[in-house]
Amino acid sequence: MVAKKRKLKIALIFMPINEIRPPVYLSSVGTSGDLVMDELARRLARWHEVIAYCALGKGQPQIEEFEGVQYRRMSTWLDRRLFHRRKIRRVMDIVNRGSVSQPLFNSPLWYRHFLGQVVADASRQDYDIIHIMNISQFVPVIRSRLPKVRIVLHMHCQWLEQLDATTIEQRINAADLVLGVSDFIAAGVRRRFPALADRCRHIYNGVDTVLFARPPGVEPKPKQLLFVGRLAPEKGVHILLDAFHIVLVQHPDAHLQLIGPEIILSREELFPACDDPHVLALEPYFRPGNYGELLRRKLSGFPPGSISFLNNGIKFSELMPYYHSASVFVFPSICEESFGMPLVEAMASATPVVTTRAGAFPEIVEDGRGGLLVERSDAQALADAILQLLSNPNQRAAMAQAALDRASTIFSWDRIAADLIAEYDRLLV
């Protein structure tokens, strides 16, 4: 007889930057990382006791129960007041001598007041696992106060590769497990810190395969292209516009739908220590106003009605009809991304994908089966791949089915949650 596994007590610490309003997929607030943590929390709660720590937003209750998860919200007022004041930021820059590997968000003081509240509360609990999203400086503080708890650091970005090596090594040495959202992330950490390689693994992000399932009888619109993501330089929207010009020559009735906010993050925040020539070439477009001006200039050359925008306030749960109406989903990211949530959303919607051969994308999309991969920053190659799918409906249909099969088999949230529980169990043996 197989022994029944005991119920674990798990704390999940969200990044305290955004408000969390469960379920995140019904909200227009938050990041894809918030969505991932929320989806995992609600599935873990089917078998285990789960408490989620997050920022207290205006008008929100300090404690809220939803689908078995208890959300405990902590004030970030002091942290925001400190780290959003220009004088404080200037002092920190002087202390760090402007080092790209020691940006403000890598400071041990970053959201330290929030962390203090979390640790005080956690000290009164009896957690088996504390699972932290992205913020490595939380690890040694929690370890010093709670020496027996198992600590999981879950990385949704490349900060462990990009930030000061000595500092990062000390932090992850205090963690029991470092998870990347792809093997691209985990492998990068293993390369940089070979002595700690045995604690670096990956758990993919997932997708709600029921929510994104294409309803019976709903067919894509002919020659409808879709992009979902921030309208930002590193996402390659300008390359997509150049490619779409080429597509229109052969398919003048094609239509491009762009969905996402025009939010330009600083290059230093996105890529603290970057030597990627594709990203460095984008430097001028990270300056305020430059990228919007570039896009408007390119858009002025298109026929009226050939491109549509939806870039304010759309919820995760409102995306499905757009995926279902698309013949091809196009995601021409220029940077090496940690994962690619829109890719798995498109795949779960049975929509073939054209994307770039970089970062985690080759782990997600099987080139030639569920989609096509092209080189970054290459508008002609992007256009050729789009044209190939628009001109071959049988290939497009076969790729749509292959994409759906892969999303259902590998990227369903139930599969991801089961994989995560297996990692927890391995830690507690």
For residue range 220-264, what is the model confidence (pLDDT) as tens digits?
Answer: 999 999 999 999 999 999 999 999 999 999 999 999 999 998 888
- Note whether 334 and 291 are within 8 A (CB): no
pLDDT lower than 50: segments of the chain: 1-3, 87, 91, 94-95, 97
Instruction: Look at residue 22 in the predicted model and tell me its pLDDT.
Output: 94
- Confidence (pTM): 0.93
Instruction: Look at residue 130 in the predicted model and tell me its pLDDT.
Output: 99
Structure tokens at 115: 């962390």
Instruction: Look at residue 94 in the predicted model and tell me its pLDDT.
Output: 47
Instruction: Look at residue 2 in the predicted model and tell me its pLDDT.
Output: 40
Q: Summarize pLDDT for 162-204 with one digit per residue, the tens.
A: 999 999 999 999 999 999 999 999 999 999 999 999 999 999 9
Residue ranges of the alpha helices (H) in 177-333? 183-192, 237-250, 267-270, 277-280, 290-299, 320-325
In whole angstroms, what is the distance from residue 425 CA to residue 20 CA? 27
- 271 exposed, middle or buried (CB, 10 Å; 0-12, 13-18, 19+)? buried
In whole angstroms, what is the distance from residue 190 CA to residue 319 CA? 36
Helix, strand, coil shares of the chain, percent, nearest 5, are 45, 15, 40
Domain boundaries, the chain: 9-206+412-428, 224-410
Contacts of residue 39, defined as CB under 8 A and 6 or more positions apart, other chains included, come to: 24, 25, 206, 208, 413
Helix (H/G/I), strand (E/B), else coil: 132: strand
Instruction: Look at residue 1 in the predicted model and tell me its pLDDT.
Output: 39
Q: Which of 333-361 are b and which e, b meaning 16 or more Cβ less than 10 Å from the residue's Cβ?
A: bbbbbbbbbbbbbbbbbbbbbbbbebbbb
Helix (H/G/I), strand (E/B), else coil: 54: strand
> Are 9-206+412-428 and 224-410 equal in CATH topology?
yes
Contacts of residue 289, defined as CB under 8 A and 6 or more positions apart, other chains included, come to: none
- 204 exposed, middle or buried (CB, 10 Å; 0-12, 13-18, 19+)? buried
Does CATH number 3.40.1160.10 belong to domain 9-206+412-428? no
The CATH architecture that domain 224-410 belongs to is 3-Layer(aba) Sandwich (3.40)
E-state strands within 337-398: 353-356, 371-374
Instruction: Look at residue 264 in the predicted model and tell me its pLDDT.
Output: 86
Calculate the CA dihedral of residues 134, 135, 141, 143 and round it to 10 degrees: 10
